[in-house]
Chains A and B, each alone.
Chain A
């Protein structure tokens, strides 16, 4: 979850500048997704243990909270973004290794991946074609994310499958709202930094994919 949203209003951009931010965001998103996928394959190839996921997420979160906001306005920010997305991909690889060992693991992974892609394309397409302003979702999404983070902290120490399922379902709904919110902010000029925009959309996709894996993994077994 991206903590780098500006808490103050920014000057609005014209349509040409907003399109440039959108184009740069999608180009950088494609590159970071590809890099992350390569890192996931490397992690799977060297058979990283599941613990690698926790370590990668911790380091990526520290970079995202403390380093990225300071570098997002320079070219260094792109390097930091690749480092974060590469780390997340590397951690993801260790989770995918566990799923691959399951009887229907490859089917679950393929379904979650395809589902994430369809959700992202559907939501982005809707926000881009309607050009509707989804900034009214801001308060709801941020409050929801804070509740989910508190629930995640609880679930680290209390292992209840129902809580894990509920958190995953809530994350999918919140991240879907966040994709609408982010895309709408870009096209309406609310987000001017394509590095931060890419980071936020990447995190939404990553969280939807992980949550779908969790839901499909739990629900596929009797």
Chain B
């Protein structure tokens, strides 16, 4: 039963990939390109989230 469910989920995920492909292709080819500043602000946000998750890990280990 477990293996059957895993295979079913894998098939559904492949269908998801197939359905996501047109949007992915569109955004990669025609999506707006960010400036260096745009990407820097995004990297800073992600860094803040990584730091926050690290804090949560420390809190559950103590």
Contact = CB atoms under 8 A, between A and B. Distances in A.
Interface in A132-187: 132-139, 141-143, 145-146, 149-150, 152-153, 156-157, 169, 172-173, 176-177, 180
Interface of A: 1, 3, 5-8, 51, 54-55, 57-58, 61-62, 65, 104, 107-108, 111-112, 115, 118-119, 122-123, 126, 132-139, 141-143, 145-146, 149-150, 152-153, 156-157, 169, 172-173, 176-177, 180, 212, 215-216, 219-220
B38 A1 contact: no
A179 B43 CA distance: 15
Given A6-B23, A142-B20, A215-B57, 7 more contacts: A1-B16, A65-B15, A111-B56, A138-B31, A138-B32, A153-B14, A169-B53
B10 interface: yes
Does more than half of chain B's interface fall in helix, strand or loop, or is it mixed?
helix
B31 A139 contact: yes
Contacts of A219: 57, 60-61
Give the secondary structure class of A's interface.
helix
A215 B53 CA distance: 9
A15 to B, nearest CB: 20
B53 A172 contact: yes
Contact of A157 (B6, B59, B61): B6
A2 to B, nearest CB: 9
Given A51-B1, A136-B33, A115 B24 contact: no
A46 to B, nearest CB: 19
B40 interface: no
Given A136-B38, A139-B31, A149-B16, A156 B9 contact: yes
For B6, B9, B25, B41, the residue with the greatest tally of chain A CB atoms inside 10 Å of its CB is: B9
Contacts of B5: 51, 54-55, 58
Given A137-B34, A172-B53, A7 B10 contact: no
Nearest to A175: B49
Given A51-B1, A115-B53, A61 B16 contact: yes
Contacts of B49: 119, 172-173, 176
